Structure 1
């Protein structure tokens, strides 16, 4: 695609009286740095690099207007005058880059994880352990004043505006929806009353600030919960927010308690953009699309077809702070794309850890790693070109070292080559392509089909890195047969049909992350055609997604007549530990995998001891009793072991799976690669 193809994304646009230089918004992404004054210098550098990277507008992570709005105890607030000085570090950091910086005002309502939470009702969110107290009418007005004061302080701190968080089940959304608002005062009952809180917040902020001050209102365009707002009601709210003085309506999708995935890898790109388009047709102010927009092609199609005026991307700016400039300069192959894994960003935030990025461990740690070139470059050998080896070669070459990368197979990528065959994880291929491009630019010598080196070959190098990774654990001769496959052999197929016909019965041995991935591979008609076209909007995937999850694609309402799924293979998933299967899957994505398998009728058995596989089936012991799992085919996912190198060399270090195969984790492996490269002087 030529540079001119993206011109629409770089056409300036006015939000009331504010000019935005392009159509890109860096959406709000809580990092954890917002919660501590001592981290604001790091947060300032984080925003500065994204402003340098070309984005037109940045929305900060959420800041509460008062204590009741905390997400967790002592999370970030802007409530007092003395806090203005600290916030000026952020606004000062981006001066000179023609980038607007907007503070998100976030009151979590009943989603706050602390005992002081307040909401429209006395209610407890299904994802929380705390019950909210009901705000009195007078207390509601105090909350409105807290939002307005926060906006006033934002202006004093030099912010170009605020984003009022009115979506995804937070406080304002809790007032908007009958689901959580059974009040009988002026803030409950009719839609006019239920939206009064949102309207008064926006109108009172606007009364204090001219149209040169941005007011973005984030509105859930579809709620995906029972008794939520309908699309006609959402349109009414959007019009009222426009009349109240908002500059931009930004898109939120669903509630956090909704049992419909909205941001994970299985969600097709721009799946919800048509709901944003429906709002855009009804208002005259700018409208911004969000959710699963991580490529130039998707962003371009949304703006080009006038589904939205602006596009919001959050996680893609963690993955690559320069993504906008790279799109502008038509350097698409240089983009380090977000793969939607959530492992280092949202999964970290939910356990009170600093956010980062699996494919870019520098994210939110920009001040802690020195990538300036060394004065005396070293000769470096890296053995293994999986994610850890590729990352190590990249960072070592950035430091100016002479790097040689050796891979025994004919392809780069290692475990990511398997992962990108899993339905919904096609974007993992982007990371392989990115490293391949960068290593070529950095003159890394790449040797494919190169067996493990011996000491005589390694002697020429100053440093040697073992990044050979893992291989599947072999359960021994009792678990062999023509109908028994390792997960590696299965996932190397373009389609499961190559080994296991449809309608077969399959026993999957091992219920870790790979076991769940194998089940989804077996349950899908997904075919790896070798050339992924996964950077554009695919309407067929979007249609399938809405049908699968029981959501009406036009109204956004949950269907009440969803037909049961007939799985294409009958699967039994087993594990040794006597506990819930999938217990250790990622917090923000694990529930989706578990729900997928439940919908597909996968039988799950825990607490088993595997004995052998023969013509009768898989012999197990369960509750001290022998049993046989009958199946046509068996897939072994019983863990991994490190690749053994028959080499002893004092110069050699190991990272990733080669160091510890107990927990296969690309996030840890890539972070180790960065730390290793930085350590070589």
Structure 2
């Protein structure tokens, strides 16, 4: 991991982009938040973007808008038509009143469109949608060029400072460029020069349409990460052609959406792709924007100092903290709310058709709905928050922001709750940034902190309000003998065997495997042996499997190791910058020589060869669905790929029988199986820890404070920090 230099002089310095000057080098990159699709949401979108402008960002790029109906992402997706652009005058006005600059991104989905009007360079279906795209005719190609130009003109007329053309991530312009998706035999596809003709024609038409004063940015794919993608020579020729046609800024993109290489999740090393950005910058005479996993301002400063880019795109970090630039300028870098790149509340929501927000900032994209209104001094309340996990800390911060007098109690010696365990999972190292930021933010907000303190109901009688955020305890199964109920888990219960509500999850069968809870393992109170069974394959179970098998040191901490780990190579050496992935070989298990159809997944590498710890790990669940099916849309496939690569043996449709001196006995279908292990890790979900809340609610005297129960203490979901923090902030907003 790079060692950043102190200070932010380069990141905060202005830059002349040719058409106008921006006040710093921070670009809020394009990110769809679900407010773009309906003109009726223009006021909400204006509030969201204007807050980032007030926070000091240099240049804002909107979410993508299609130039025509064919290019919409969804049937009701955003389009830069006359009605929409007229409504957007409120957006451009509010951003400009905040001394900001904003450009509209034009995005044609091509074969990524989720509707029957999809059209692309050639007929076919992408892996992301069930709709088959038709082939654009030669007349259709020209119409699309005209539509781009007309949409760009409407954007500038609506007050935008320019437009950005989305030519990356596998959308239409990118589809014309790659041999994988363009095998036309006409002037728009016969060879590399013909494949470039369409995006170059779009850039030229848009430049003419927006006039000499508006900014024209092009998001260029430097690394497609798909077989038969572009090579480096083609990309450089395209870049020079774009600048010749009037493009002012080249914003870099990495990877198509269908690529099987992660590019933005938290396990990707910081600034992993900036060497390619630097190479582009050396080849063109316009400013270049670096992107993808540059979340830490210190890393962004170092990228600029090393001459790898002229500007830094920080989309999700500005979801997390809209005032990030202002905090840097004011010397409050330690108080920045860090983005942990979890995708849970932003991209996962968008891909499920919901409005995006942010796990660590639930007000993101809800600025007009979730308002932390300051209270008058005479209405200040004394607020106790009990439990310093994510929900408790954010409740304390939100309450203090409103002006209340807040005291935060924590029974242990550390802040963070179960997030401390998550930060120990290889690939989630950036969660530690959130842990490090909380003490500074709490101190700045004036929150009183009492660690190693477990208050009683009597201790809290002097407060007006008590927010109980005491979290959860691991659910323990009744071992060595228990039987499932035979009906399968209910929809709202953990995917585990029948369990007791005991909080001590460390029972051991005599002379048999050691039985430990995930909490004991991740907090270092217990260690796993060489043969491990994990009971419960939800998010925690998957995390534990990765904790036990991930390479050491973590590839996330070294970009070269990570690239080798995922088969990423120089696009100058291989088209698309990706090596072919060998088919996994079946792993031989004691009870089966091949996949026997009983629910045991043995299609994984037999022996990891990439520095992984040599453990035999079994991951088990009662459900018959594939393991990891409930994980996030943008991150789940990464976790599943890592499990396969590690050789984790996956068992589904499991009925748990017993643990004895031989090991763990299970039944899959009609077949009984013994899994010989020395350790069983229980990831059987959680139970709410609400003893204090029940005591306070039972008291009901005139001196009893108002009681609010939030987070895991309210609902013991599977460590759902996004729901817990949102509930905590909403509760504080209502005090």
User: Structure 2-normalised TM-score?
Assistant: 0.87
Out of 480, 483, 487, the residue aligned to residue 508 of structure 2 is 480
- Within 5 Å, give how 1:228-627 maps onto structure 2: 228-375=229-376, 376-451=379-454, 453-478=455-480, 480-481=508-509, 483-493=514-524, 499-500=527-528, 504-526=530-552, 541-553=558-570, 555=572, 557-560=577-580, 565-566=608-609, 567-568=612-613, 569-627=615-673
Pair 1:123-2:124 in alignment: yes
- Secondary structure at 1:9's aligned position in 2? coil
Counterparts of 1:286 and 1:491 in 2: how far apart (Å)?
45
Contact 2:427 2:556 in 1 (8 A): no
Q: Which residue of 1 aligns with 2:500?
A: none
Aligned length: 664
Question: How far does residue 540 in structure 1 lie from its aligned partner after superposition?
Answer: 5.9
Q: Which residue of 2 aligns with 1:21?
A: 23
Q: Which residue of 2 aligns with 1:649?
A: 696
Counterparts of 1:519 and 1:263 in 2: how far apart (Å)?
22
**Structure 1 232/4 Cα, relative in aligned 2: closer, same or farther at 3 Å?**
same
**Structure 1 3/508 Cα, relative in aligned 2: closer, same or farther at 3 Å?**
closer
Question: How far does residue 678 in structure 1 lie from its aligned partner after superposition?
Answer: 1.2
Counterparts of 1:299 and 1:253 in 2: how far apart (Å)?
17
Counterparts of 1:366 and 1:10 in 2: how far apart (Å)?
26
Out of 11, 14, 20, the residue aligned to residue 12 of structure 1 is 14
Contact 1:16 1:211 in 2 (8 A): no
- Within 5 Å, give how 1:626-665 maps onto structure 2: 626-645=672-691, 647-650=694-697, 651-665=706-720
- Secondary structure at 2:467's aligned position in 1? strand
Contact 2:539 2:718 in 1 (8 A): no
Question: How far does residue 614 in structure 1 lie from its aligned partner after superposition?
Answer: 2.3
Counterparts of 2:566 and 2:456 in 1: how far apart (Å)?
53
Counterparts of 1:491 and 1:110 in 2: how far apart (Å)?
43
Contact 1:3 1:329 in 2 (8 A): no
Out of 704, 707, 725, the residue aligned to residue 670 of structure 1 is 725
Contact 1:574 1:608 in 2 (8 A): yes
Counterparts of 1:490 and 1:435 in 2: how far apart (Å)?
24
Deviations 1:110-131 (A, max 9, x none): 1011111010111100111110
Contact 1:3 1:330 in 2 (8 A): no
137-146 vs 36-45, which moves further: 36-45
Counterparts of 2:450 and 2:569 in 1: how far apart (Å)?
51
Counterparts of 1:96 and 1:442 in 2: how far apart (Å)?
28
Counterparts of 2:453 and 2:6 in 1: how far apart (Å)?
42
Deviations 1:447-493 (A, max 9, x none): 11112x32321222222222111111111242625722211111113
Question: How far does residue 99 in structure 1 lie from its aligned partner after superposition?
Answer: 2.3
- Secondary structure at 2:10's aligned position in 1? helix
**Structure 1 443/20 Cα, relative in aligned 2: closer, same or farther at 3 Å?**
closer
- Deviating runs (4+, > 6 A) in structure 1? 1-4, 561-564
Counterparts of 2:5 and 2:673 in 1: how far apart (Å)?
63
Contact 1:359 1:667 in 2 (8 A): yes
267-276 vs 2-11, which moves further: 2-11
Deviations 1:488-526 (A, max 9, x none): 1111139xxx7235xx12111110000111111111255
Contact 2:474 2:684 in 1 (8 A): yes
Counterparts of 2:551 and 2:207 in 1: how far apart (Å)?
52
Question: How far does residue 95 in structure 1 lie from its aligned partner after superposition?
Answer: 1.6
Question: How far does residue 244 in structure 1 lie from its aligned partner after superposition?
Answer: 1.3
Deviations 1:138-157 (A, max 9, x none): 00000000000011111101
Counterparts of 1:540 and 1:136 in 2: how far apart (Å)?
47
Contact 1:546 1:553 in 2 (8 A): no
Counterparts of 2:17 and 2:723 in 1: how far apart (Å)?
42
- Secondary structure at 1:435's aligned position in 2? helix
Q: Which residue of 2 aligns with 1:531?
A: none
Contact 2:6 2:298 in 1 (8 A): no
- Secondary structure at 1:648's aligned position in 2? helix
Deviations 1:418-440 (A, max 9, x none): 11111121222222232222222
Contact 2:267 2:556 in 1 (8 A): no
Question: How far does residue 549 in structure 1 lie from its aligned partner after superposition?
Answer: 0.5
**Structure 1 382/146 Cα, relative in aligned 2: closer, same or farther at 3 Å?**
same
Contact 1:388 1:670 in 2 (8 A): yes
Out of 54, 57, 60, the residue aligned to residue 59 of structure 2 is 57
Counterparts of 1:209 and 1:441 in 2: how far apart (Å)?
46
- Secondary structure at 2:533's aligned position in 1? strand
Question: How far does residue 670 in structure 1 lie from its aligned partner after superposition?
Answer: 0.3
Q: Which residue of 2 aligns with 1:102?
A: 103
Counterparts of 2:690 and 2:45 in 1: how far apart (Å)?
42
Structure 1: any 5+ residue segments left out of the alignment? 529-537
**Structure 1 393/253 Cα, relative in aligned 2: closer, same or farther at 3 Å?**
same
- Secondary structure at 2:537's aligned position in 1? coil
Counterparts of 2:236 and 2:532 in 1: how far apart (Å)?
48
Counterparts of 2:402 and 2:160 in 1: how far apart (Å)?
36
Counterparts of 1:549 and 1:483 in 2: how far apart (Å)?
35
**Structure 1 282/584 Cα, relative in aligned 2: closer, same or farther at 3 Å?**
same
RMSD between superposed Cα atoms in Å? 2.0
Deviations 1:79-106 (A, max 9, x none): 22x4332111111011244422100001
- Secondary structure at 2:36's aligned position in 1? helix
**Structure 1 560/577 Cα, relative in aligned 2: closer, same or farther at 3 Å?**
closer
378-387 vs 585-594, which moves further: 378-387
Question: How far does residue 408 in structure 1 lie from its aligned partner after superposition?
Answer: 0.9
Contact 1:2 1:330 in 2 (8 A): no
**Structure 1 540/640 Cα, relative in aligned 2: closer, same or farther at 3 Å?**
closer
Structure 2: any 5+ residue segments left out of the alignment? 481-506, 585-604, 698-705
Counterparts of 1:272 and 1:401 in 2: how far apart (Å)?
44
Contact 1:175 1:195 in 2 (8 A): yes
**Structure 1 123/547 Cα, relative in aligned 2: closer, same or farther at 3 Å?**
same
- Secondary structure at 1:7's aligned position in 2? coil
Question: How far does residue 280 in structure 1 lie from its aligned partner after superposition?
Answer: 1.0
- Secondary structure at 1:149's aligned position in 2? helix
**Structure 1 325/644 Cα, relative in aligned 2: closer, same or farther at 3 Å?**
closer
Contact 2:665 2:672 in 1 (8 A): yes
